[in-house]
Amino acid sequence: MINETDMKHLGRCVELATKALETGNPPFGSVLVDETGAVRYEGHNLTADGDDTRHPEFAIARWAAANMTPDERAASTVYTSGEHCPMCAAAHGWVGLGRIVYASSSKQLSAWLDELHLTPPPVATLPINQVVPGLPTEGPFPALAEVIRELHRRYQNSQKRKNQPAE
Ligand SMILES: [Zn+2]
């Protein structure tokens, strides 16, 4: 079940995704919250520099491995604007993090990219539980997903403008 606290953290993820977009990165943002409710790490996508593995969920998994005990990790929740990709889901599973709450799903993202006539990503968009069986997950949430869809549309438009030859 999702409560007001969950919605607050998801709202922060959308803010971080917006910040990603504003700095030229694809719009994804994530937050790591521990058992006491404290935000321990937050970040957004940083792939604009050319390293396509710089996803916030991957950064969270590595930060958690370096800074939290296995028990702390298992009791934590990762909130994210878009469902983990297989790389990030695997990293999350390997370091033993807990529940994931996502605002929009990978299935929605695929449909949006399709609508925008974009080439699909090189990595399959699998549901988290196909990568990490049994992990508790919640999402997507329609009202937030609509906002994220708009961020993706804006990102794609900004990329198109960037790739247009100068006249
Ligand atoms: Zn990822």
For residue 135, the CA-to-ligand 1 centroid distance in Å is 16
Give 108-156 pLDDT, tens digit per residue.
999 998 888 887 889 998 999 999 999 999 999 999 999 999 999 999 9
Residue 65 has pLDDT above 60, yes or no: yes
How much is the pLDDT for 161?
A: 81
**d(C-alpha 8, C-alpha 25), whole Å:** 23
Distance from the CA of 42 to the center of ligand 1, in angstroms?
A: 14
Half-sphere exposure of 146 (CA within 13 A, CB side): 2
Residue-wise pLDDT tens digits, 12-26:
999 999 999 999 999
Q: How do residues 70-108 score in pLDDT, each as one tens digit?
A: 999 999 999 999 999 999 999 999 999 999 999 999 999
- Scan for tokens 């794609």, then name that residue: 156
pLDDT at 166 over 70: no
- pLDDT tens for 20-59 read 999 999 999 999 999 999 999 999 999 999 999 999 999 9
- Ligand 1 centre distance from Cα of residue 143 (Å): 22
Q: Give residue 25's Cα distance to chain centre.
A: 13
Burial of 40 (0-12, 13-18, 19+ CB in 10 A): middle
Tokens 């694809």 map to which residue? 26
Reported in sequence order, the residue ranges of 6-163 that DSSP labels E, i.e. its strands, are 29-33, 39-44, 77-82, 100-104, 137-138
The answer on pLDDT for 167 being more than 70 is no
C-alpha 55 to ligand 1 mean position (Å): 5
Query: Ligand 1 centre from 47 Cα, in Å?
Result: 11
Question: What is the Cα–Cα distance from 112 to 147, expressed in whole angstroms?
Answer: 12
Predicted TM-score of the model (pTM) = 0.94
Q: What is the dihedral of CA 117, 56, 61, 89, to 10 degrees?
A: -10
The residue with greater pLDDT, 165 or 154, is: 154
pLDDT at 130: 97
Strand positions, DSSP E, the chain: 29-33, 39-44, 77-82, 100-104, 137-138
C-alpha 58: how far from its chain's center? Answer: 9
In angstroms, what is the span from residue 73 Cα to ligand 1's centroid? 18
For ligand 1, an ion, list residues with CB under 5 A. 55, 85, 87-88
Domains defined for the chain, CATH in brackets:
4-160 (3.40.140.10)
